[in-house]
A and B are shown apart, each in its own frame.
Chain A
Amino acid sequence: AQKVTQAQTEISVVEKEDVTLDCVYETRDTTYYLFWYKQPPSGELVFLIRRNSFDEQNEISGRYSWNFQKSTSSFNFTITASQVVDSAVYFCALSRLSGAGSYQLTFGKGTKLSVIP
């Protein structure tokens, strides 16, 4: 069975601080995909990144960076120099091919990030 754990329910930081959101996953598959989504107050889930299980290179996109470590089954997300606009709920998700030939996302419960000005 698949599982995604985001142990941090809520985090508050002061603007310009760095913050890391943790994501730990469980799967028996060798091929899988990991995602991060942002849910701002408007409600939609905004795609941030997708990483496949064979690509352990870390990625940086502006102030965002992701650290994927298969050895610890973690896919952590760091925001550098946080801004108020980063305030949102962030979801980590795992997908794999189901028996029915579909890729289902398994989500964590989300981490609510509040950036205080």
Chain B
Amino acid sequence: EAGVTQFPSHSVIEKGQTVTLRCDPISGHDNLYWYRRVMGKEIKFLLHFVKESKQDESGMPNNRFLAERTGGTYSTLKVQPAELEDSGVYFCASSSNIVGIYGYTFGSGTRLTVV
């Protein structure tokens, strides 16, 4: 089966611009997660979708971040306006089971650089 696909793989934008990251989970996986790793820090949870509903968005840093999952398939994460501290690697993961019995399958991430 195809894995979790994220694009773009890299994005360089100027401070104040808008960027939209996309994640295509494994087909049939109801659970979709966003995580990010900023430079030198741990990978941190952002939010969790179950189908098209936000189950938990407690990790979203502020209201400049907006995640959507229309129709319960792919998800987008928009950052508007981007700030320098938003630079990092954004990972998406999906799973068929909420407790991750078979693990959570991660994508390769989108490396975002805000200059």
- Contact status B45-A104, CB under 8 Å: yes
Q: How large is the interface on A (under 10, 10 to 19, 20 to 34, 35 or more residues)?
A: 20 to 34
In the complex, are the beta carbons of A50 and B103 less than 8 A apart?
Answer: yes
B106, A109: Cβ atoms under 8 Å? no
CA gap between A50 and B105 in the complex, in Å: 12
Q: How far is the CA of A104 from the CA of B44 in the complex (A)?
A: 9
Chain A interface residues toward B at CB < 8 A: 4, 33, 35, 37, 42-47, 50, 91, 93, 95, 98-109
Q: Is the Cβ of A103 less than 8 Å from the Cβ of B42? A: no
Among A43, A100, A108, the residue within 8 A (CB) of B56 is A100
B91 cross-chain contacts in A, Cβ below 8 A: 45
B105: chain A residues at CB < 8 Å are 47
Contact partner, A102, options B3, B55, B106, B107, Cβ 8 Å: B55
**Chain B residues, CB < 8 A from A108:** 42
> Is residue B96 contacting chain A, with contact meaning CB distance below 8 A?
no
CA distance A46 to B104 in the complex (A): 9
Q: Which residues of A contact B42 (CB under 8 A)?
A: 4, 106-109
Q: Are A45 and B101 in contact (CB under 8 A)?
A: no
Q: Which residue, of A46, A102, A108, has the highest number of chain B Cβ atoms within 10 A? A: A102
B99 within 8 A of A: yes
From B35, B57, B104, B107, A47 is in contact (CB under 8 Å) with B104
Give the Cβ gap from A64 to chain B, nearest Cβ, in Å.
14
| One of B3, B43, B55 near A100 (C-beta < 8 A) | B55
Q: Which of A35, A44, A50, A101 contacts B108 (CB 8 A)?
A: A44
Collect the chain A residues with CB atoms within 8 Å of residue B16's CB. Answer: none
Closest Cβ of chain B to A61, distance in Å, is 13
Residues of B within 8 A of A109 (CB): 41-42
Q: Which residues of A contact B41 (CB under 8 A)?
A: 109
Assuming the contacts A91-B43, A98-B58, A108-B42, asked whether A103 and B98 have C-beta atoms less than 8 A apart, the reply is: yes
